[in-house]
Each structure stands twice: as structure tokens, then as C-alpha cells.
Homo-oligomer: A and B are copies of this chain.
Amino acid sequence: EAPAKPRRKATAEQMAQRQREISVSEFFAKNRHLLGFDSPTKALLTTVKEAVDNSLDACEESGILPDLTIEIRAVPGASDRFVVSVEDNGPGIVKAQVPKIFGKLLYGSKFHRLKQSRGQQGIGISAAAMYGQITTGKPVQVWTKTGKGRPAHRLEVQLDTRKNVPVVLSDTEVDLEKDHGTTVELELQADYGRGQRYLLRYVEQTVLANPHLALTFLRPGADPLVFPRASTEPPKEALEIKPHPHGVEVGTLMLMATESKYRDVRSFLQNSFSRVSGGVADEILGNAGLKRTLRTQQLADDRELAEKLRQGILDTRIMAPSTNCLSPIGDELIRQGLISFLSVVEEEAEELPQLELLEKGARRGRKKAPVKTSEEKQAELEKAAADAVPPEPGEEIIKGKKFFIVSSTRPPKVYRGNPFQVEVGLAYGGDWPQDKTIELYRFANRVPLLFQRGACGVTDAVMKTDWKKYELQQPRGALPVGPMALLVHIASVWVPFTSESKEAIAHYPELLAEIRLALQDCGRKLAAFIRKRKAAAYELKRRSIFELYIDELARSLHEITGADREKVKGDLVVLAREITGGEETDEILDRVASNPKKRRPTDEE
């Protein structure tokens, strides 16, 4: 068949003239939703989050207990514009770095090293600045001071989106009272009315995952929220590590060899990777069938050699990466976190549905109870506990409601050479409805994930766990249903997100498998708890059945034999208790019951 007559022909030459380089800032300006700026609602949270992430990372790295103030200010005369300001007491930023940090995408200290941190891409804060600039035309402002007695600077920075380079609009020395710290402030198109609920959730969850943080949140038209520091112990510090040989692919191996300053492959292996001693290096080379004298440059140039070496690495048993590169939240904090969420959820169950990317409408006027310090919580707990049977291990009493709380921390594992660790917390019980989908709280490197729940690997892992085994209902291919909250935290030197906005975790099988294992561990404990309760409830049910008939039987026996009716009845009652688990049944069910008056199931149930 003959091609039809072309209507108009662009030649290869004509087409070639149109080929152009695209700067990364142009790309993201157009694809701003990839960075979390798809709506004025989300833009607000994304901006706050990026600034807070940076402050927390900087404080952590320089050993400072963070003290942050987030401020949202309305812009007079423009209902769709707000100013976001985040102030920290961090180490400050060397003046020369300020323009690039705030005015250039893909610039930062965290991308090129393997270390658990909140930020990792070098995109976030400069993307926020760019969004502000595009939507309002205004530059980002930065105040920073790096130490006592040193000068403080205020800079206004713009981003040249065509070239992805910063433009400094002004640069002045200013007075700052504090010894050190940074304030970043920018104006952007935003919707605070709709966005505030996400902000509040973000702030609460961030405080919970970072108990060493003191935070003040200043909001338009509402009282400030003040979260005092809950712990003066900073989280365990995550150390930087080198890549693990098992995660390295041929192309990467060749690139590393090219850039290596070590001349022989043996030293290259020992110095560029973690867990490779001289002995291990020898074993790798042996397995690869390569000489110990092989030079690194040969490896860089010869694909066949690199392939052999990689095979040698894969054939060699090498210790798993050290775990000190990871800083999990820890069992205790996860439990405290869950307890705290539950307090909020219990209060506002009807007000705060699960968050989704598209909000269905603004919810205003939400009341907020400041999170209590751990001392206050402790006092409350003790008070509630005093009135009740002492809880079993795993049980907690929160505002008079009984919850079963467990957590599980997996040992660190590796995907593509990146160590990571999964933690899961589970809370069950209270007065929550039996027929609602569970609450799911997702965290990555201590940062709460509030959007794109449906696209997240964590959600997928929860859905693909068979909760029916653990005594919960679960519609096919969906989250389980029941009075339960789950907290899932992934700590990693490199968290794979589904997009640059870091809202959801990608579906890497290694990650999903670990999450599932942690969920299963919690699930098994939950199932044991529920079954025990069910068994006790069954015993009580049995007892109530026997008790129902005892009176009648005693009368008949009395009428036939003349035996004392009360005596026979008493004997039967004692027997009924013995046969149905005795005191133990009472106790288990006492613990379950929120309301002691409703304790006994009657025949009407």
C-alpha cells in the first residue's frame, strides 16, 4: 500500500533547529505538581515542610536541639496570598551558599552522601521559592547568622528559571539577637482556609516524631500553638556510610572506578564501599577471576572486566551494612505517638477524615488542644489507671478508653545498596467504630506523609497483608476495617519517593516485604490479644447461659426432691464460675470494658 500524500513536511533539518536544552527549573516550573505545588492548598504545606525539613536536618547535624517558629501571615488585600516564614536556631548558612541553596534547583549537601536525612534532593526549598516567585513575582528572603559575634545577613534571592541559577537582588548586614540560626520567608499564592487542616496535622505529627523539637506555630486569626520540647535527648544520630557493594550495578561500578583516586582495584574496593576489608576484597577478586594487581583504570575502561567484578561481588558473602547509618523513631516513641494521635482522633473523629489529595471542601474553625507534655500525659495515665484493673502488657488507658498498643522494629535491610529500616506501631480498641477503615499514619525519615495515600507503597503493603488472619475484617484489595490505627515509619539513607514532592513511597519490593513483615509481627500480637478477649467473652457468654437456667433448674430439683433451693442454686452458681474460667474471665473482660455497667452481655445481645 502506498503512503498517502503528505500534507506538510518538516525535514530532519527543520526539526533539528527546534531542539533545545531544557533547564531543570523550566522543567519543574511547568511540572510544579511533581514538587507538591499542584494547588494553592498543597503549596502552603509543601513550603512549610521543606523549610522545616531543612532546619531539622541542619540542627541535627550540628548537634543543636531545634527551636522553630512557623508563621503564616495573610497578605492584606489579597485573599489568595500568604507569607510563610520559618525561623530556626540552627547553625546558620554561610553567606556565599545562600543564593544557591535558595535560588537553584538540584543543589545541596545531602544528595551525594548516604545518610539518613529529611531532605535528600536539593530541590525542596528552592522549588518553594520558585513557586512563590512565579505566582507572586516576589523573591525569597533569608536572614542567617552562623555564630555569636558574627555578622548576620539578609538576602533577597531570585531564581533565573531559564538557566537555573540564582540572582541576588539585595544583600545587607543586619542585627540578629540570637547567636545563630536562619529565617526563610516567602510570599506565595496559597489557600490557608483549606490548607490549615493539613498544616495542623503536619505540625502535630512532626512534633510527635521529633520529641526533641520545640515548636511555635503562629497562625492568622487564631492563637499561637506552642509545643514545648518533650525530650532533651536528641534522636540517635545517623552516620554517613559508603555504598554497599551488593547494590552496585555495572555502569555505576565503572563510573566509580573512573572517579576513584585509588590505583588498584583492591584498594578501590576497600575504600569506596562499606563492609569490604582487605580479605573481602581478595575474595571478591578471586570469585571474579581477576588478579589482585588489577588497576582501577582498567576497570573503568573495560566493560567486560567490570561485569566480571560485579559477578565476583555478587558471588561473595559480605556483611550487611552497619545500622548506625539509620535513626529509627524507636518503640517507646512510636507508642507515645500513637497514644497522642488517639487522643486527637478520639476528640475529632468526625471532623478529620483521612486526608486525600483532593480535599472535598474547606473545614474551618477546628479547635486544637495543644499536645500535652509527657509529664502531663503520665499524670493522666496514672489517674485513669488508678480507677481500673491494672492493664495487661500492651494495654494503655487513654482518656478512660482502653487500647491495645504494640510496635515492631525490623532489623535494617538493604535495597539497591541503600540500608533502610521499617518500624510499625499498632493501636487497637477504644470506642472506635468497628466498621470504619483503619487510620494509617505514614512517616519517612521522621517526616509525616500526608498526601497520595493511595499511591504509596506503605498503603499497598498494608492492603496486601492478610488482616483476616489477625481477626480484622478486610474488604478485598483494601485497607482493613476496624478500631485500629497504624503508624509506619521508614528510615533510610535514601527513601525512594514516587515523585519529587516526597508524598508517597515507591513500590520497591524489598521495602514492601519489610513493611509486611513488621505489620505481620504486630498483627500476630494483636490477634493473640483479640483471641484472648474473644475467648473470655465466650466464657462469659457461656456463664451467662448457665446462669440463665440455674434458677429454673434449682426450683425443679427442689420441687422434686425437696432439697434446699438456695443451697442447690448456690452450688450451681459456684460450679458455673469454675467451669467458665473463674476469676480470670472477669478480669480480662473488666479490662476490656470502657463502661463497667455495660460489662455483662445479656441474652438480648
Residues of A participating in the B interface, judged by any CB pair closer than 8 Å: 1-4, 6-13, 15-16, 18-24, 26-27, 29-31, 33-34, 38-39, 58, 61-65, 67, 91-94, 96-97, 100-101, 104, 106-109, 111-113, 121-122, 133-138, 146-147, 161-162, 180, 189, 228-229, 232-234, 237, 249-252, 254-255, 259, 303, 306-307, 357-358, 452, 454-455, 460, 494, 496-500, 504, 506-509, 512
Contacts and interface: CB of A to CB of B under 8 A. Distances in A.
A135 B234 contact: no
Contacts of A34: 498-500
A369 to B, nearest CB: 22
Given A18-B109, A162-B255, A357 B62 contact: no
Contacts of A306: 137
A291 B251 CA distance: 60
A16 B62 contact: no
Contacts of A500: 31, 34
Given A4-B234, A107-B19, A111-B22, A13 B137 contact: no
A402 B403 CA distance: 56
B26 A111 contact: yes
26 contacts: A3-B67, A6-B64, A7-B63, A7-B234, A7-B237, A12-B91, A13-B146, A15-B91, A16-B93, A19-B100, A20-B112, A22-B111, A26-B111, A26-B112, A27-B111, A33-B506, A39-B509, A135-B249, A137-B303, A137-B307, A161-B255, A162-B255, A357-B507, A358-B460, A358-B509, A358-B512
Nearest to A456: B455
A29 to B, nearest CB: 8
Contacts of A113: 18
A111 B20 contact: yes
A569 to B, nearest CB: 52
Contact of A499 (B7, B94, B228, B498): B498
Most chain B CB within a 10 A radius of its CB, from A7, A30, A58, A138: A30
A506 B121 contact: no
A16 B94 contact: yes
Contact of A93 (B3, B12, B96, B255): B12
Given A6-B63, A136-B251, 18 more contacts: A11-B147, A12-B92, A12-B146, A15-B94, A16-B93, A19-B100, A21-B106, A26-B112, A27-B111, A30-B111, A33-B498, A135-B251, A137-B251, A138-B303, A162-B259, A358-B507, A454-B455, A455-B498
A218 to B, nearest CB: 20
Residue of A63, A67, A307 contacting most chain B CB atoms (<10 Å): A63
Nearest to A57: B15
Nearest to A20: B112
Contacts of A33: 496, 498, 506, 508
6 interchain residue pairs of minimum CB distance: A6-B63, A134-B251, A455-B455, A18-B109, A12-B146, A16-B94
Nearest to A11: B91
Nearest to A258: B162
Given A106-B27, A507-B38, A64 B19 contact: no
Given A30-B494, A358-B460, A455-B498, A106 B62 contact: no
Contacts of A454: 454-455
A237 B26 CA distance: 27
A228 B1 CA distance: 10
A18 to B, nearest CB: 4
Contacts of A97: 16, 19
Nearest to A357: B507
Contacts of A180: 12
A65 B4 contact: yes
Nearest to A214: B1
B251 A15 contact: no
Contacts of A509: 39, 358
Given A38-B508, A109-B15, A4 B92 contact: no
A277 B109 CA distance: 49
Contacts of A31: 121, 496-497, 500
A104 B61 CA distance: 35
Contacts of A237: 7-8
Of residues A112, A147, A229, A504, which shows the largest number of chain B Cβ atoms within 10 Å of its Cβ?
Answer: A112
B15 A62 contact: yes
Contacts of A146: 11-13
A428 to B, nearest CB: 24
A407 B210 CA distance: 53
User: Of residues A20, A65, A234, which shows the largest number of chain B Cβ atoms within 10 Å of its Cβ?
Assistant: A20
A10 B108 contact: no
A63 B10 CA distance: 7
A138 B303 CA distance: 8
Nearest to A7: B63
Contacts of A303: 137-138
Contacts of A249: 134-135, 189
B137 A254 contact: yes
A330 to B, nearest CB: 17
Contacts of A61: 10, 15
Given A22-B107, A107-B21, A137-B303, A4 B455 contact: no
Given A33-B496, A111-B27, A250 B135 contact: yes
A507 B42 CA distance: 12
Given A303-B137, A306-B137, A24 B62 contact: no
A437 to B, nearest CB: 10
Contacts of A9: 62-64, 91
A411 B452 CA distance: 30
